[in-house]
Each structure stands twice: as C-alpha cells, then as structure tokens.
C-alpha cells in the first residue's frame, strides 16, 4: 500500500509558476530541503525548500509569514539552519511541516503574498552539507555492479556466496564528504602494475565515479539497541545523490585484506538537496527478489518491505570534458539505470542490518547504497564497468575517448522518479570537476 496523501496529488499546482512546468525536478509534490545562505555573504545558515526554479528561504518565511499554531514552532530549527534539530522532532513533525508548506505554496494560498518576498534565486545562494556528517557507511547493494566488477577479477566466481544473504558494507571517511559544486583533486597513492616487482607512489591514473544514492538518518538508536524492520523506515529522513569517487588503481593494490581505504577516502560528493521519504511515497514499489534467489533472513523481512520497500527511480551519469566545454558542446550521458532493477537491498534493510549488532546510528549519519548499475548496456554506474576495466575505451563526441576520468572532466549525477499519471520527483544533481594531483 502506497502511503500517499493530499500533498502527493498530481493535480496540485503552485503559485510559483516554474513548479508547474512538465519535467520540473522540484514541483510542489516534492519540497526538498537544503542548508544555504547568500553566496559570499556572512548571513547565518538557514534551511531552504526548493520550489520550481526558486528556493523558499525558511528563515525569512518564518518571520514574515503567518503560520498555524501547530506548524510555526516546528519551523524554528529550519529557520536557524539546523536540519538535525528539525529531524529530531520526529516523523509527525516532518509531515506537519510538509503539509503546511504544501498548503502555503498551493495556488490560491492566502500566504502567497507573504512568501513571494521570501523566494530566492538558486544561483545567488551557496550551500553546505545539510547535516554534520559524523559517520558514513557505504554499502554494496547494486547487484549488477557487484557481478560486473566481480567478473573482472574473478571470472569463474564473480559473486561471493555471502552477497545474497548479507548487505555488504564498509565504514567510510565522514570528514571527506563534501557538498555539490566543488572540485575533486586527483589523489596520490601507491599503485602496483601486474608485471612490476615493487609498487610506486604517484597520482592515481584510474580515477572513477560511482553512481549512488545516499540515505540520511533522521533518528538515533542507542548503543546495543538494534532497529527492527518495523521501525527502520521511520528512522530515515531522506535521500540524496551520492558520488563515491574511487581511485581504482590504488584500490586494486590496497584493498586486500581489509577492504577500501585511501582509494575511497579522498572525496565523497553529495547533493545539497534532501528529498524526504514522505515525498517519495508515490514512487514506492513492492520488493521482489528475482526467481531462484534466496529470500532475506527473517530479521531483514517484513510485510511492509515486501509491499512497498523498493523505489522507482532513474539514475544517470553525465560527462562534460574540458574539450567539450571549450567548444561549447553539451555534456554526454554515460549511463542510465533503474534503481528498482539495480538495488538488491532496500533502504529499510540497510538500516536494520547496520544496527543488528547493536551499532548506534546518529541523526545525520550517511549511508551510501553502493553503485547502482542496471543489467544492460549503458546502464553501468561506473567507468570501471563501462570500459570493462579499462580494456574497452568509451567513444565520446568529437573523437575523444575515456577509460577513466581525466583532469578537467566534470562528472554530474542526476536522479528522478516519474510514474504514469504522476509528476516528476527529482533529486537535483551533484557535480564535481577533476583537478590535477597537487
């Protein structure tokens, strides 16, 4: 059963005209949050809500617009730029504010004259991470990615036997999670060629992206207290786009026996926009394992997860090379995949498994899904897969070729969900430009 309400009505229109345009990422049915302020200013940080091609400044809106008694106090943490404090108020508060914002932004709203003065242009703003990230865990939930990468290194045994039973993950580096719009410096590290006697230290030569979703925790659990499947979704505040930049040559040399280390810890980019799980309700789908696959163990199973645990989202990766920019050419899409096909585990299962040993998650903790690749050509969420480990260069417009990212390349991830009879719910984008090694 889809958990929809009046805020999801496809017929709902906003007095912000750009929010009603077909294909808009941020219609009134979405209302994602970001932490922002005027670009280059010393304004206090505040939370904004994307509506069409504009942003509603909730610091201004809380002061200049009348709100109902139930909503007004709930807006204060948002006005003060503290999304974690807002999340701590719980799911009931999240839904009350969503309903209040929807009514205020709906066409014909009495609040429109007040809120018109609180709209800001996105290009005049700067953004920070929506939460203070104290912990970051990256999972490996994309089964087609796992099979494709496994086949490169273990052709006879691409998928290890634990994969279909355990949501595999590793603890990443929280301090190098950065917000959209920055640059990524090519990392230095150890690599070893297959025919070399010794490793060398120098710039990474196989820089890659990973097309992922990020899950933001909106509630904490105490140390030693697991979160079961019945409660898991109520702990999730929202999702974002995530690019876990990867140094594949460094990774190949260092990852055994303890897994990813410096090949992953130099940068992880996330979109500033947090799309709430409430906004995703129309995109929920039944969770079904392919025929012949083992079913989850009981602690990772629930009726609700089977009925509506999966997400119908399209994810894309786009490349804009330095040459394309110089010649005024647009970016080219490298891949497109459907999360419904790509993800072997649901968000609720990732939370439940993460806490199953008593691990304590905190508000603002970030969980990456792992690379989301589809089964077909052009559906791979990394260059490692698209170029078959560097053996099959990708042909680009203008005669360029790529196996891995080069200096000056800009890599952009996008995601959206759109179902028949519904409106598009977008996650915006997250981009990063590669700088030379320092």
Note whether residue 10 is domain-resident: yes
40 and 176 in a single domain? The answer is no
Query: Which residue among 83, 111, 128 closes a domain?
Result: 128
Note whether residue 60 is domain-resident: yes
120 and 140 in a single domain? The answer is no
79 and 165 in a single domain? The answer is no
Note whether residue 181 is domain-resident: yes
Catalytic residue among 8, 144, 145, 353: 145
pTM of the model: 0.96
The two tokens of residue 188 are: 């230095």
Query: Which residue among 128, 151, 177 closes a domain?
Result: 128
Query: Which residue among 128, 144, 167 closes a domain?
Result: 128
Number of structural domains (the chain) is 2
Q: Tokens 């989850």 belong to which residue?
A: 296
Find the CATH number of the domain harbouring 277. Answer: 3.90.850.10
Note whether residue 411 is domain-resident: yes
3-state class (DSSP) for residue 98: helix
In contact, 14 and 52? CB cutoff 8 Å: yes
Note whether residue 1 is domain-resident: no
116 and 154 in a single domain? The answer is no
86 and 210 in a single domain? The answer is no
247 and 392 in a single domain? The answer is yes
Find the CATH number of the domain harbouring 72. Answer: 2.30.30.230
266 and 192 in a single domain? The answer is yes
Note whether residue 360 is domain-resident: yes
128 pairs with which residues across the strands? 35
Q: Residue 333's domain spans which residues?
A: 136-435
Q: Tokens 């990392």 belong to which residue?
A: 187
**What pLDDT is recorded for position 3?**
66
Q: What is the dihedral of CA 374, 337, 349, 224, to 10 degrees?
A: 100
162 and 267 in a single domain? The answer is yes
| pLDDT by 10s per residue, the chain, length 438 | 346 899 999 999 999 999 999 999 999 999 999 999 999 999 999 999 999 999 999 999 999 999 999 999 999 999 999 999 999 999 999 999 999 999 999 999 999 999 999 999 999 999 999 999 999 999 999 999 999 999 998 888 899 999 999 999 999 999 999 997 689 999 999 999 999 999 999 999 999 999 999 999 999 999 999 999 999 999 999 999 999 999 999 999 999 999 999 999 999 999 999 999 999 999 999 999 888 899 999 999 999 999 999 999 999 999 999 999 999 999 999 999 999 999 999 999 999 999 999 999 999 999 999 999 999 989 999 999 999 999 999 999 989 999 999 999 999 999 999 988 899 999 999 999 999 998
195 and 329 in a single domain? The answer is yes
As a whole number of angstroms, the distance between CA 127 and CA 376 comes to 36
38 and 187 in a single domain? The answer is no
38 pairs with which residues across the strands? 125
Note whether residue 309 is domain-resident: yes
277 and 255 in a single domain? The answer is yes
Note whether residue 308 is domain-resident: yes
The two tokens of residue 376 are: 């077909």
106 and 150 in a single domain? The answer is no
As a whole number of angstroms, the distance between CA 370 and CA 100 comes to 34
**What pLDDT is recorded for position 132?**
96
The reply to whether 145 belongs to the active site is yes
E strand segments, 218-297: 236-244, 246-247, 268-270, 275-276, 284-285
């Amino acid at each position: 059963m889809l958990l929809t309400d009046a805020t999801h009505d496809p017929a709902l229109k906003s007095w912000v005209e750009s929010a009603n345009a077909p294909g808009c990422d941020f219609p009134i049915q979405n209302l994602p949050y970001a932490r922002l302020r005027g670009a280059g200013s010393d304004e206090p940080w505040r939370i904004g809500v994307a509506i069409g091609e504009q942003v509603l400044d909730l610091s201004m809106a809380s002061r200049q617009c009348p709100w109902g008694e139930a909503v007004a106090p709930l807006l204060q943490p948002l006005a003060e730029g503290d999304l974690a404090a807002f999340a701590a108020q719980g799911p009931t508060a999240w839904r009350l504010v969503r309903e209040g914002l929807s009514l205020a932004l709906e066409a014909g709203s009495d609040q429109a004259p007040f809120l018109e003065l609180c709209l800001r242009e996105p290009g005049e703003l700067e953004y920070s991470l929506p939460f203070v990230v104290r912990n970051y865990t990256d999972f490996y939930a994309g089964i087609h990615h796992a099979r494709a990468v496994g086949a490169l290194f273990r052709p006879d045994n691409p998928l290890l036997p634990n994969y279909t039973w355990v949501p595999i993950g590793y603890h990443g580096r929280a301090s190098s999670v950065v917000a959209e719009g920055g640059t990524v410096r090519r990392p230095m590290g150890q690599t070893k060629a297959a025919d070399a006697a010794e490793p060398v230290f120098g710039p990474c030569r196989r820089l890659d992206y990973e097309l992922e979703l990020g899950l933001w925790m909106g509630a904490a659990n105490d140390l030693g207290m697991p979160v079961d499947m019945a409660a898991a979704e109520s702990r999730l505040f929202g999702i974002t786009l995530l690019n876990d930049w990867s140094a594949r040559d460094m990774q190949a040399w260092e990852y055994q026996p303890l897994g990813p280390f410096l090949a992953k810890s130099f940068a992880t980019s996330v979109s500033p926009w947090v799309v709430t799980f409430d906004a995703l309700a129309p995109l929920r789908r039944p969770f079904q394992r392919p025929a012949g696959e083992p079913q989850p163990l009981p602690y990772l199973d629930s009726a609700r997860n089977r009925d509506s645990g999966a997400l119908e989202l399209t994810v894309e990766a786009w490349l804009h090379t330095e040459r394309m920019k110089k010649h005024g050419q647009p970016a080219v899409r490298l891949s497109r995949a459907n999360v419904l096909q790509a993800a072997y585990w649901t968000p609720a299962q990732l939370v439940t498994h993460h806490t199953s040993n008593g691990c304590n998650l905190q508000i603002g903790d970030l969980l990456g899904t792992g690379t989301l690749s589809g089964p077909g050509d052009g559906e791979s969420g990394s260059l490692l897969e698209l170029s078959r480990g560097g053996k099959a260069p990708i042909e680009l417009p203008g005669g360029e070729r790529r196996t891995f990212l080069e200096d000056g390349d800009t890599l952009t991830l996008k995601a959206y969900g759109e179902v028949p009879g519904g409106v598009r719910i977008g996650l915006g984008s997250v981009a990063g430009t590669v700088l030379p090694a320092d």
